[in-house]
Structure formats: structure tokens, C-alpha cells
Amino acid sequence: MKFTAFQIAELIGATIEGNPDTEIKSFCRIEEGIPGALSFLANPKYTQYIYQTRASAVIVSDDFVPEEKLTTTLIRTKNPYAAIAQLMAIYEEMMKPKKIGISEKAHIDPTAQIGKDVYIAEFVSVGEGAVIGDCAQLYPHTVIGDRGAVGEKSVLYAGVKVYRDCKIGKECIIHAGVVIGADGFGFAPQDGQYLKVPQIGNVIIEDYVEIGANTCIDRATIGSTIIHSHVKLDNLIQVAHNVELGEGTACAAQVGISGSTKIGKKGIIAGQVGITGHLHIGDNVIIGAQSGVMTNIEDKQIVLGSPAIPVSEEKKLIIYRKKLPDLYKQVRELWKKYQEDE
């Protein structure tokens, strides 16, 4: 499938600088540019590659000013990263096969409600009283437990497990191996042993959520673990019982959130962050990679380190820690001199 640079600019409301008839057949990274491909420049670290790229066209920001001669056609827009994401979504929608139909090898309980134009693959299991919305897609070995629900146009890839009573909203993407609604880690010490606390709540995942591969979201002890709309979770994340993730919050890989913690809207939680239980994290909070969060965080804070503290303070500590070996050496020499003087 071919497009011209002019057609692409029309789709994203951009302007052309160069040949509007340049043909585009695919996408490429700017440092690996190939003829007939479209690339983009959003990160200044990659500016050097635009002068040598073989990509036929490159999406750049409106304020980009080249310092050398270019051989590629420029497509100028306000936000290159958002523009390329929009184009790739259109391309994917046009190219990916439309999957519709229910496999004879799927098990669907007679009491389940199945919407129109669904795709239910081989070895899928849909439990008693479950509801599958219109145009939903369930890939092989997916399990929807009793009274579970999957909203319209949601996609559950291979091996997703949705336990009983758990709900998934519309247009969600749940990647392979995700487990939604397993028991929370609840045990009461008794006579030197641990007594299991029944987990009788559920998980509610609202609309437009994406969850990466092998992430686990535990059911609530009582009530609901809630993932609000537009949340984005990376691979290998653990969300414990009764956690609430606010609308539009994004978490990178290997984040662990302990039970009953509430996280506000539009936060950013970087990779390998650990958050203890029963905390309140405000709106628009940014938590740096590998931080250990042990106290509440107010709105619009940026924190880093373990224990997590404001990023300006942590940067100072990083500088001080680098100086510790020299400081130790100086103190040791002073102590040695002191002992000799005695």
C-alpha cells in the first residue's frame, strides 16, 4: 500500500517541505532509514541521523531548523511523536486481518452472553454468566471466569486469565499471559502460621486501558481493585489487592504496588519502582526508576531514590555519595596523623 507525502500530511494536518509526490510504503527508524519509508525525529539526540538518513520522508517539529543540506522530504507538525503514532495506528488498522468467528474448539457456557462480530479462538473458555461485548477478540487459551465481562472492541491476547466477577471495559488491550483477579496476598498470622484471608472482591478495569504481558492485577479483599480509564501498564507489573490507579497513569515494567495504595491521575511511574501499601499518591506525580516509595506523595511532585525523596534532594545526595571515598580517605589520614601526634 502506497501513500504520497502530501496524502500523509493531509491525514495529520501537517505541511510539506520538499517533494509532495514522494511515495511512502512503510515505516523505519531514522538511523536505519530506507528508501520508500517514513521516519520521524522527536528526540534531539537523533538529529544527526536526519542528515544521512535514506528515508524518503521524515516527520519533524514545526520549529526544526536544519543545519546541513537534507536529501529527504520533511513533513512538519507540532508533535512528531503523536503524528507517527496516529499514522501507525491507521496503517495497522488497514493491514491487520479482521478476525471474526467462534471456534468449535472454544468452550462457551450456555448462560454466557456473546455480542456481535466477536472473535473467540480455539481453546478459549467463557464461564457461566459471562458477558462478551460486540467486536471483542479473545485469542487462544484465554479464560473468562464466571460472571466476568469483556467490553466491546477489547482484545485479549493468548493466555489471558480473567477470574470470576472481574470486569474489563471497552477498547482495552490485554497482552499475553496477563492474570486479572487472582487472590490478593492476604494472610493473618495465627499460632505461628499464616491463615489465608478470603479474597471476595473483584477487579474493575475501565475503558481504553492497555496492560502489558505477564502483568498481574489481584482481586480486592473486599470491594474492588480499580484500574481507571486510559491507564497504561507495561509488562511484568504487580498490582496488589484494593489498589486504585487513577485515570491516565502510566507504569513502566517491573513496578510493584502493594495493597490498598491509591494513585492519582496522570502519574508516571518508571521501571522497577516499589510502592508500599496503604499510601496515597497524588495527581501528576512522577516517580523515578528503582525508587522505593514509603510515604504519601502530594500532587505534582517528582521523586527519586529509596526511600523516595524530591528529585532535587536526591541529586544532591548522589553527588555527595560520589565524594564519600575521598572523604573517607581524608578522615583516615587525619585519624592516622592524630594517633601519631599522640
Categorize the per-residue pLDDT at 95 as very low, low, confident or very high, splitting at 50, 70 and 90.
confident
pLDDT of residue 264: 98
Per-residue pLDDT for 38 more than 90?
yes
Partner residues linked to 28 by β-bridges: none
pLDDT tens-digit map of 183-227: 999 999 999 999 999 999 999 999 999 999 999 999 999 999 999
pLDDT of residue 336: 87
Domain locations along the chain? 3-95, 101-311
Q: Which fold has domain 3-95?
A: 3.40.1390
Name the catalytic one among 175, 228, 241, 280: 241
pLDDT of residue 100: 96
Q: Is 175 a catalytic residue?
A: no
pLDDT of residue 66: 95
pLDDT of residue 255: 98
| Dist CA 199 CA 240 (whole Å) | 12
Look at strands 309-310 and 302-304 and give their pairing.
antiparallel
Categorize the per-residue pLDDT at 287 as very low, low, confident or very high, splitting at 50, 70 and 90.
very high
Question: Residues 149-167: what's their mean pLDDT?
Answer: 98
pLDDT of residue 226: 98
pLDDT of residue 295: 97
Grid coordinates standing for 213?
504481558
pLDDT of residue 340: 80
Burial state string for 27-58 with b = 16 or more CB within 10 A and e = fewer than 16: ebebeebeeebbbbbbeeeeeebbeebebbbb
- Other C-beta atoms closer than 10 Å to the C-beta of 161 total 21
pLDDT of residue 92: 86
| Dist CA 138 CA 125 (whole Å) | 9
Per-residue pLDDT for 171 more than 90?
yes
Categorize the per-residue pLDDT at 288 as very low, low, confident or very high, splitting at 50, 70 and 90.
very high
pLDDT of residue 94: 83
Categorize the per-residue pLDDT at 338 as very low, low, confident or very high, splitting at 50, 70 and 90.
confident
Contact 226, 193 (CB under 8 A): no
Q: Which helix (H) or strand (E) holds 163?
A: none
CATH 2.70.180.20 fits 101-311, yes or no: no
- Looking at the chain, the whole-number percentage of residues with pLDDT higher than 70 is 99
Partner residues linked to 287 by β-bridges: 269, 303
Segment among 93-102, 284-293, 309-318 with least mean pLDDT: 93-102
Mean pLDDT of the chain: 95
Grid coordinates standing for 219?
482481586
Contact 290, 272 (CB under 8 A): yes
pLDDT tens-digit map of 302-312: 999 999 999 99
Question: Residues 154-177: what's their mean pLDDT?
Answer: 98
